[in-house]
Amino acid sequence: MNGHGILLRGGRVIDPSRGHDAVADVYLLEGRVEALGRNIGTPAGAMVVDAAGQVVAPGLIDLHVHLREPGQEDLETVATGAMAAAAGGFSAVCAMPNTDPVCDNQGVVGFVKAQAQRAAKARVYPIGAISLGQQGQQLAEFGELVGAGAVAVSDDGKPVASSHLMRTALEYARTFGIPVADHCEDPTLSAGGVMHEGTVSTRLGLKGIPAAAEEIMVARDILLAELTGGHVHLCHMSTRGSVELIRRAKERGVRVTAEACPHHFTLTHEACEGYDTNAKMNPPLREAADREAIRQGLGDGTIDAIVTDHAPHHYDAKEREFDDAPNGIIGLETSLGLALTELVRTGLLSLPELVARMSTTPARIFKLPGGTLAPGAPADVVVFDPEVEWTVRPEEFHSKSRNTPFGGRRLYGRANVTIVRGQIAFQRPSG
């Protein structure tokens, strides 16, 4: 691979996997972490990156993105998504299976992996479907999916309505040691809903989705994980009730992990005022008390991981009546900045805790390489400035899409260098 190596000099090296948080040099050679320590001399031929004043951490890992390929390459491709990920500080992302065709067979898993290899930016790990065609009927062939490289299974935006199917999936997934990731939504309660059910939906005259639609399925999934001993991973938690259910389940030792998105710890349903379709997503933006509970859940570790739910859409699709616009926003290039601004600057998380939520823990719960700077670990590293103030300019995104409610927002902190497999996948142009 890279015969010369990269020396990251003088940064604040944060590696939650080993409790490391001190100024040090990190030397990467041949795709691995070669050495970590104070004042490593410059090895012959090494490229030196001055990391003074910046954080050096294991590359960020996003467990929940939509890269749209195969099927909707006009919105995003594996290559553009992997580039956007690298620009956001991510060395790896997990791609949801709601492609066309659905990622419910080893052919699609292999295709996504091949496209990712060709792009050679952030790593892309496919997530397989739970059921064939995400139809909620027949179990997909988990064995073949995992054999081809899938790291988890999920029916993604199609909630697993059948408790029997969910039970079967949790049981069967144990064979392969993979988590079953669930989008928690009772479709009979959420049907037709386009935003959170509350005062704002009442005022705007939009059909709401009650918090209970999520919480019922969170409770069900916890009970089924308890029944089966399977590992359930709860996607994009948005309500205070969900956080409380997970907290209690973890106290009981249930194999449950959970993730939350920057928009849910930053915004509330008031962002839908004026029928702003860039504030339309599922699960919807909720109330201030829900946002606070998500923040607290991330603070105490009830919620394990920060994910983006990166969901590219064409501007035409969002330039519509609110009822008809698609759900979702992109997030790869704003996630770190929002987390630093909303969680670290506010004192809710320390920097090591943030790195844990965005790298070390996601790697652990999906059993991915990375999330650590231990010698011999993959040379997946992010160098970020946690303080630099910048303005979100969607027109400068590497993603093919621009659908974000954060355009024009002032944020603090962003990635400057992202290294994947010992290669520089992204380096912010200076000046």
CB-based contact 61:47 (threshold 8 Å): no
- Distance in angstroms (rounded) separating the CA atoms of residues 121 and 180: 27
Among the residue ranges 31-39, 108-116, 321-329, 398-406, the one whose residues contact other proteins (CB under 8 A): 321-329
Per CB under 8 A, the list member of 18, 320, 393, 410 interacting with other proteins is 320
- Report the alpha-carbon angle 371-372-374, nearest 5: 160
Considering the complex, state which of residue 50 and residue 74 has its C-beta at the smaller distance from other proteins. Answer: 74
Nearest to 233 by CA among 171, 178, 288: 178
Geometric angle at alpha carbon 162, from 157 and 163, rounded to 5°: 110
Q: Quote the least distance from Cβ 75 to other proteins, whole Å.
A: 18
| 389 belongs to the binding site for other proteins (CB under 8 A) | no
Residue placing its CB nearer to other proteins in the complex, 285 or 307: 285
Determine if 175 is a binding residue for other proteins (CB under 8 A): no
**198 near other proteins, judged by CB under 8 A:** yes
Contact 305, 358 (CB under 8 A): yes
Environment class of 139 (CB within 10 Å of its CB; exposed 0-12, middle 13-18, buried 19+): middle
Residue 194 Cβ vs other proteins, minimum distance, rounded to whole Å:
9
126 contacts other proteins (rule: CB under 8 A): no
Residue type, 40: I
**Residue 341, interface with other proteins (CB under 8 A)?**
no
d(CA 201, CA 287): 11
Residue 251 within binding range of other proteins, rule CB under 8 A: no
Q: How far is the CB of 74 from other proteins (least distance, A)?
A: 17
Contact region for other proteins (CB under 8 A) — 89-97, 130-138, 212-220, 315-323? Answer: 315-323
Smallest separation, CB 203 to other proteins (Å): 7
Among 321, 347, 395, 429, binds other proteins (CB under 8 A): 321
Strands 32-37 and 20-29: antiparallel
* Spatial CA neighbour of 225 closest among 276, 161, 188, 170: 170
204 binds other proteins (CB under 8 A): yes
Closest contact distance (angstroms) between CB of 270 and other proteins is: 13
C-alpha Rg value of the chain to the nearest Å: 20
251 versus 319: smaller Cβ distance to other proteins: 319
Q: Determine, following the binding rule CB under 8 A, whether residue 193 of this chain makes contact with other proteins.
A: no
**Minimum distance of other proteins from residue 242's CB (angstroms):** 18
Residue 309 annotated as catalytic? yes
Closer residue to other proteins in complex, CB, 114/191: 191
In the list 136, 275, 326, 369, the residue contacting other proteins (rule: CB under 8 A) is: 275
153-187: string of b/e by CB count within 10 Å (b at 16+)?
bbbbbbbbeeeebbbbbbebbeeeebbbbbbbbbe
Specify the 3-state DSSP secondary structure of 93: strand
Task: Out of 205, 253, 347, 376, point to the residue binding other proteins (CB under 8 A).
Answer: 205
Residue 366 to residues 40, 64, 110, 190, Cα–Cα distance (Å): 33, 11, 19, 29
Taking the C-alpha atoms of residue 62 and residue 84, their distance in angstroms, rounded to an integer, is 12
Read off the amino acid at residue 174. R
Q: How far apart are the first and last CA of the chain?
A: 30
Select the residue interacting with other proteins from 252, 319, 395, 430 (CB under 8 A).
319
Q: Which of 104, 156, 290, 309 is catalytic?
A: 309
Q: Which of 3, 274, 347, 429 binds other proteins (CB under 8 A)?
A: 274
Q: Among residues 2, 201, 266, 360, which is the contact residue for other proteins, using CB under 8 A?
A: 201
Is residue 397 a contact point for other proteins (CB under 8 A)?
Answer: no
Q: Give the binding range for other proteins (CB under 8 A) out of 6-14, 157-165, 301-309, 320-328.
A: 320-328
Residue closer to other proteins, measured from CB, 149 or 326 = 326
Q: Are 156 and 184 in contact (CB under 8 A)?
A: no
97 near other proteins, rule: CB under 8 A: no
Nearer to other proteins, 122 or 281 (CB): 281
Cβ contacts of 51 within 8 Å, gap of 6 or more: 8, 9, 10, 11, 383, 417
* Closer by beta carbon to other proteins, 198 or else 297: 198
CA distance linking residue 181 with residue 167, whole number of Å: 12
Q: Is 162 in the site for other proteins (CB under 8 A)?
A: no
Footprint of other proteins (CB under 8 A): 197-199, 201-208, 210, 274-275, 316, 319-324
Active site residues: 309
